[in-house]
């Protein structure tokens, strides 16, 4: 039973495949016939166009040329008819080579149409006769070739019939009958197409002839009456990475035939163009416009660098950098090698220096009135502006030597007031009109007086006083006022606040106490060392901290840190217990145990007792040494017998 089912399934599958093959074959035959019919209609339309052009030529010529034009049109019509008859005579199974031959034979008819149109624009009847004669000869040649094609096809059909066997004659006759019926249908359809094409061609020819005649009447040149538009040369779009033959054809069909058109299009427009041709997947479309721009600019090197950056026409994650020499990853084999090359390129792009565009130069300010500076007149002003000193700021920033050099370049060697120009200009830059007036009152002809300028003195403007005696009296009065005026020294700038220091190095200070002390202004060891215990406790109370048993030792510890005495700080902190002093006074000559690091109450007590004993012994030794030193001193003070006798 299983074998039977398997055989049945196999038979069904084979039958389905055979039916599919037959269906494909039938579809191919039908499509081929339709294509040949369409092709035939196009050739008929071309023949009709040639006939219409010839008739237009006859209408444009004079009465004498009308008869000749009619003959040419008749010959062109005969050529078109012969062409149509040759197409009808073609067998349904004609080879593609024969169809191409028929297409080639339609070219003379089109050439005849072009010649006929050109002849219609000729200025003289003789030229019209020559053009018509050429059109007739070309049309006649086309007709002869069409007849030859018909004869050739008939001969081929006859040979094929003779070569067939007698047993197949009946079948061949039946097939021929069917094919003849199909050809009759195609012929009738072609006649309608040809008639319509002839009408359109005649209308176009009449319009062209009328336009040419109008140009001739307007005085135009017959040779330039009809100027055919030059076809735009298409570029090789496959030079763009990510564009293959199919996408290139789709872009050209959508009108994007040149690099310039693609460079001027957006990504959305390009995707819409290829989608209109049935192509929905184009991942590299984002880079086509940029690539095309390189080709428009004839920048072959730039295109190569950009295409090395691309991966299959698509941009990488990192932005393109012209300063990076990218590896062409598309030419690398192996996923690992590609990944390594990509990583290397990314690192190179990250390391590449970003070229910061130079800021645009600020526009040159308008020249200012330098004659407001005392001691500068029109001639000196012109010399300074010629040297580039056009504003108060430039004069204020220049030295006396620079200003004198600018004057010397213009031939001015005497300028006694040049010493004060920079100071006067600075007042103008600052907008201090009152200060400028006071300073210019102090000056005499732009030059400083013997006494130094003092802002607290109200100087008389001696330049406005007439008479030598009056000027001398005013100068003496100003000098006396300047000598009597107190010199106000500028206050020194306050020293910058030092950076806060780590107060938690002081035993007994934690994070909360440190932040409270910082808030109260105790940010450094020096400030804490200079503060009293009461001041420190008051600072803590301000922050809400009332319990700080170790505050008594903070100033001493901070002093060690301020002095940079790390050893002394360590010894003192070993002496302390939780930041607090012991019962015995601190002695530097005692090596205390750091009780804070001892674990256990008994051990801590024992360590404290041992340290206390050491301190007492050291104190006893110190007192005994002091007593012995005092006894020796007293013995030395007692007089000897000889001293008593003396």
Statement: residue 71 has pLDDT above 60: no
Instruction: In whole angstroms, give the CA distance from residue 584 to residue 611.
Output: 9
Instruction: In whole angstroms, give the CA distance from residue 575 to residue 582.
Output: 7
DSSP single-letter state for residue 646: -
Statement: residue 486 has pLDDT above 70: no
515 and 444, same structural domain? Answer: no
Residue 92: its pLDDT value, please?
35
pLDDT band at 277 (very low <50, low <70, confident <90, very high): confident
Helix residue spans in 254-296 (DSSP H): 259-263, 267-275, 285-296
Query: Which of 554, 570, 586 corresponds to the end of one domain?
Result: 586
Q: What number is the average pLDDT over the span 251-274?
A: 92
DSSP single-letter state for residue 457: S
CB 90 within 8 A of CB 102: yes
DSSP single-letter state for residue 447: B
529 and 430, same structural domain? Answer: no
463 and 389, same structural domain? Answer: yes
Q: Name which of 562, 542, 554 is nearest 580 in CA terms.
A: 554
* Domain that residue 473 falls in: 370-482
Of residues 616 and 287, more confidence is placed in 287
CB 257 within 8 A of CB 232: yes
pLDDT in tens, 424-455: 999 999 999 999 998 989 888 888 887 778 77
Q: What number is the average pLDDT over the span 79-93?
A: 37
pLDDT band at 494 (very low <50, low <70, confident <90, very high): confident
pLDDT in tens, 160-196: 334 333 444 445 455 545 555 545 554 554 455 445 5
Residue 187: its pLDDT value, please?
53
Of residues 359 and 294, more confidence is placed in 294
Residue 381 lies in a domain: yes
Domain count, the chain: 4
Of residues 1 and 144, more confidence is placed in 1
407 and 345, same structural domain? Answer: no
Percentage with pLDDT > 70 across the chain:
65
Statement: residue 234 has pLDDT above 60: yes
Query: Which of 535, 552, 586 corresponds to the end of one domain?
Result: 586
Percentage with pLDDT > 90 across the chain:
31
Residue 641 lies in a domain: no
Statement: residue 409 has pLDDT above 50: yes
Statement: residue 64 has pLDDT above 50: no
CA distances from 134 to 52, 64, 127, 581 (A): 16, 17, 11, 132
Three-state SS for 583-624 is CCCCCCCCCCCCHHHCCCHHHHHHHHHHHHHHHHHHHHHHHH
User: Hey, what's the torsion of the CAs at 307, 312, 315, 320, to 10 degrees?
Assistant: -20
Burial 456-495 (b: 16+ CB within 10 A, else e): ebebbebeeeeeeeebeebbeebeebbeeeeeeeeeeeee
Residue 225 CA from chain centroid, whole number? 51
394 and 461, same structural domain? Answer: yes
Query: Which of 452, 482, 512 corresponds to the end of one domain?
Result: 482
Residue 142 lies in a domain: no
Q: What is the mean pLDDT of the chain?
A: 73
CB 411 within 8 A of CB 399: no
Q: For residue 609, give both structure tokens.
A: 């007792």
Instruction: In whole angstroms, give the CA distance from residue 380 to residue 416.
Output: 12
572 and 538, same structural domain? Answer: yes
Instruction: In whole angstroms, give the CA distance from residue 77 to residue 11.
Output: 59
Instruction: In whole angstroms, give the CA distance from residue 553 to residue 561.
Output: 13
Q: What number is the average pLDDT over the span 565-586?
A: 86
Q: What number is the average pLDDT over the span 521-525?
A: 92
Statement: residue 201 has pLDDT above 60: no
Residue 610 lies in a domain: no
Residue 518 lies in a domain: yes
**400-409 and 378-386 are packed helices; what angle lies between their axes, rounded to 10 degrees?**
100
Taking phi over 0 as left and psi of -120 to 50 as alpha, with beta for the rest, 306 belongs to alpha
CB 135 within 8 A of CB 60: no
pLDDT in tens, 457-468: 777 887 788 888
pLDDT band at 538 (very low <50, low <70, confident <90, very high): very high
Residue 140: its pLDDT value, please?
40
Q: What's the distance, Cα to Cα, between the start and end of the chain in Å?
A: 162
CB 247 within 8 A of CB 285: no
pLDDT band at 616 (very low <50, low <70, confident <90, very high): confident
Statement: residue 634 has pLDDT above 60: no
List, in sequence order, every beta strand (DSSP E) within 319-374.
none
582 and 562, same structural domain? Answer: yes
Statement: residue 249 has pLDDT above 60: yes
- Residues composing the chain: 646
Residue 435 lies in a domain: yes
Provide the sign of the torsion angle of the four alpha carbons 123, 129, 133, 139, taken in this order: positive
293 and 262, same structural domain? Answer: yes
305 and 248, same structural domain? Answer: yes
Residue 382: its pLDDT value, please?
94
Element (H, E) at 465: none
309 and 335, same structural domain? Answer: no
CB 562 within 8 A of CB 526: yes
Instruction: In whole angstroms, give the CA distance from residue 637 to residue 570.
Output: 44
Q: Name which of 299, 253, 295, 296 is nearest 277 in CA terms.
A: 253
φ, ψ dihedrals at 314, nearest 5° = -105, 150
pLDDT band at 299 (very low <50, low <70, confident <90, very high): very high
Q: For residue 608, give both structure tokens.
A: 């404290």
pLDDT in tens, 116-141: 433 333 333 333 343 333 434 433 43
pLDDT band at 109 (very low <50, low <70, confident <90, very high): very low
508 and 424, same structural domain? Answer: no
CB 225 within 8 A of CB 212: yes
Statement: residue 354 has pLDDT above 80: no
Residue 386 lies in a domain: yes
Lowest mean pLDDT among 275-284, 357-366, 527-536: 357-366
Residue 28 lies in a domain: no
Statement: residue 528 has pLDDT above 70: yes
477 and 374, same structural domain? Answer: yes
Of residues 113 and 328, more confidence is placed in 328
CB 326 within 8 A of CB 303: no
Q: What number is the average pLDDT over the span 469-497?
A: 76
Q: What number is the average pLDDT over the span 71-89?
A: 37
**3-state SS, residue 577:** strand
Longest dimension (CA), the chain: 187
DSSP single-letter state for residue 456: T
CB 34 within 8 A of CB 189: no
Statement: residue 496 has pLDDT above 70: yes
CB 417 within 8 A of CB 402: no
């Amino acid at each position: 039973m299983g074998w039977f089912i398997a055989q049945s399934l196999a038979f069904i599958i084979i039958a389905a495949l055979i039916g599919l093959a037959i269906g494909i074959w039938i579809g191919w035959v039908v499509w081929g016939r339709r294509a040949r019919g369409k092709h035939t209609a196009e050739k008929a339309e071309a023949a009709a166009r040639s006939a219409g052009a010839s008739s237009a030529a006859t209408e444009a010529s004079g009465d004498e040329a009308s008869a000749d034009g009619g003959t040419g049109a008749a010959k062109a019509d005969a050529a078109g008819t012969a062409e149509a008859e040759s197409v009808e005579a073609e067998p349904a199974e004609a080879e593609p080579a024969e169809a191409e031959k028929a297409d080639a034979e339609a070219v003379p008819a089109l050439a005849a149409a072009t010649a006929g149109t050109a002849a219609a624009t000729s200025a003289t009847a003789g030229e019209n006769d020559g053009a018509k004669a050429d059109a007739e000869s070309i049309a006649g040649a086309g007709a002869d070739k069409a007849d030859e094609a018909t004869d050739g096809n008939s001969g081929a059909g006859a040979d094929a019939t003779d070569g067939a066997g007698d047993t197949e004659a009946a079948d061949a006759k039946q097939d021929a009958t069917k094919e003849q019926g199909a050809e009759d249908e195609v012929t009738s359809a072609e006649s309608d197409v040809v008639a319509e094409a002839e009408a359109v061609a005649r209308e176009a020819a009449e319009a062209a002839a009328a336009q040419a005649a109008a140009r001739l009447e307007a005085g135009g040149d017959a040779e330039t009456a009809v100027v055919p538009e030059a076809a735009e040369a298409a570029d090789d779009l496959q030079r763009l990475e990510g564009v293959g033959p199919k996408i290139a054809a789709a872009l050209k069909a959508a009108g994007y035939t040149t690099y310039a058109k693609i460079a001027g299009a957006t990504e959305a427009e390009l995707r819409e163009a290829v989608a209109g041709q049935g192509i929905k997947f184009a991942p590299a479309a984002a880079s086509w416009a940029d690539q095309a721009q390189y080709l428009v600019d004839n920048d072959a090197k730039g295109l190569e660098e950009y295409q090395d950056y691309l991966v299959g026409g698509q941009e990488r994650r990192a932005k393109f950098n012209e300063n990076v020499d990218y590896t062409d990853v598309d030419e690398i084999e192996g996923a690992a090698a590609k990944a390594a090359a990509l990583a290397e390129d990314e690192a190179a792009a990250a390391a590449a220096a970003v070229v910061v565009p130079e800021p645009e130069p600020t526009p040159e300010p308008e020249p200012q009135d330098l004659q407001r500076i005392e001691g500068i007149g029109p001639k000196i002003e012109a010399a300074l502006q010629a040297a580039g000193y056009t504003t108060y700021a430039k004069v204020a920033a220049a030295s006396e030597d620079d200003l004198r050099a600018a004057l010397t370049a213009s031939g001015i060697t005497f300028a006694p007031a040049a010493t004060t120009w920079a100071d006067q200009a600075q007042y103008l830059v600052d907008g201090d009109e009152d200060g400028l007036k006071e300073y210019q009152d102090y000056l005499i002809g732009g030059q400083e007086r013997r006494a130094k300028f003092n802002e607290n003195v109200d100087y008389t403007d001696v330049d406005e006083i007439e008479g030598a005696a009056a000027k001398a009296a005013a100068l003496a009065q100003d000098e006396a006022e300047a000598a009597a005026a107190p010199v106000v020294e500028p206050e020194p700038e306050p020293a910058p606040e030092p950076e806060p220091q780590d107060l938690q190095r002081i035993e007994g200070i934690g994070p909360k106490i440190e932040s409270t002390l910082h808030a109260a202004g105790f940010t450094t060891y020096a400030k804490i060392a200079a503060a009293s215990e009461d001041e420190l406790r008051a600072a803590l109370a301000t922050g809400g901290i009332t319990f700080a048993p170790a505050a008594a030792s903070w100033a001493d510890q901070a002093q060690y840190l301020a002095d940079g005495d790390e050893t002394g700080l360590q010894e003192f902190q070993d002496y302390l217990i939780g930041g607090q002093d012991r019962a015995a006074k601190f002695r530097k000559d005692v090596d205390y145990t750091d009780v804070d690091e001892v674990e256990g109450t008994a051990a801590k007590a024992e360590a404290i007792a041992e340290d206390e004993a050491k301190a007492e012994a050291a104190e006893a030794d110190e007192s005994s040494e002091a007593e012995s030193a005092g006894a020796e001193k007293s013995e030395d003070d007692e007089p000897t017998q000889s001293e008593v006798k003396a």
